[in-house]
Amino acid sequence: MESQTSKSQAIDLAPLRAVLEEKFRPRDSQEAQELIVMACQEAQALYGWVPPEAAQCIADHLGTTINRVYGLLTFYADFRTTPPGEHFLWLCGGAACYVMGAPKLIELLREQYQLTDHGVSPDGKLTLHIFNGCLGVCDLAPVIQVDHHHYWGHLTPEKLRDALEALRADGVAEEQTHGATE
């Protein structure tokens, strides 16, 4: 399925409607209330975030209000109510990465790319999440996982900036281990 991550793209609600019809058939209003979070999870799985049109669709289907849906969407940190950037950066905030220089990487991302934790860059190209734990590749510390598959390791602010500029230019995330012994 084609990614539906841009604000300018029309959201195709047909897949969500199909899921709602198939799986979400509450017997009463109490059960409908209990299904809102699960319905939002389905929407996020389909679109990568929960667009306003999808939130309204869920509200209509479950016989509740858009305010109720947004109340839950904003209560749970895992839900996205803005579209993700084209590239997803998962910066490891674990102890080894912290000691090896992750704070300097965060500083660069904040100052030069206006990226905050769980933020999207103004040009919509990058989404940053800071992972509060260990990504399991401490030998690459400090490390960023890019687009869920690639690792940029042994990063310095300069190497990160170069890698990000290459990513923004040609859209391809290459492994960047910078001297890793593999």
Strand 87-92 and strand 119-120: the pairing is: unpaired
- The residues in 133-172 that bind ligand FES, with binding defined as CB under 6 A, are 134-138, 141, 143
148: region left, alpha or beta (phi > 0 left; psi from -120 to 50 alpha): left
Q: For 85, what's the count of Cα atoms within 13 Å in the CB-facing half-sphere?
A: 25
Question: Does position 92 bind ligand FES by CB under 6 A?
Answer: yes
Q: Which stretch, 35-43, 116-124, 129-137, 167-175, contacts ligand FES (CB under 6 A)?
A: 129-137
Least distance (Å) between residue 158 CB and ligand FES: 20
Among 13, 37, 96, 180, binds ligand FES (CB under 6 A): 96
- Based on its alpha-carbon atoms, the radius of gyration of the chain, rounded to whole angstroms, reads 19
Long-range contacts of 114-121 (CB under 8 A, 24+ apart): 115/89, 118/77, 120/82, 120/83, 120/84, 120/85, 121/85
Residue type, 61: H
Length of the chain: 182
Question: Does position 91 bind ligand FES by CB under 6 A?
Answer: no
Show the binding pattern over residues 6-45: x = contacts ligand FES (CB under 6 A), - = does not. Answer: ----------------------------------------
Residue whose CB is nearest to ligand FES in the complex, by number: 94
Distances in whole angstroms, Cα of residue 85 to Cα of each of 40, 71, 175: 20, 24, 20
DSSP type of residue 149: T
Least distance (Å) between residue 140 CB and ligand FES: 7
Task: Using alpha carbons only, give the angle 57, 61, 62 rounded to the nearest 5 degrees.
Answer: 120
- Closest to ligand FES by CB, 66 or 137: 137
- Closest to ligand FES by CB, 127 or 145: 145
Least distance (Å) between residue 111 CB and ligand FES: 22
Question: Does position 180 bind ligand FES by CB under 6 A?
Answer: no
Contacting positions for ligand FES (CB under 6 A): 92, 94-97, 134-138, 141, 143
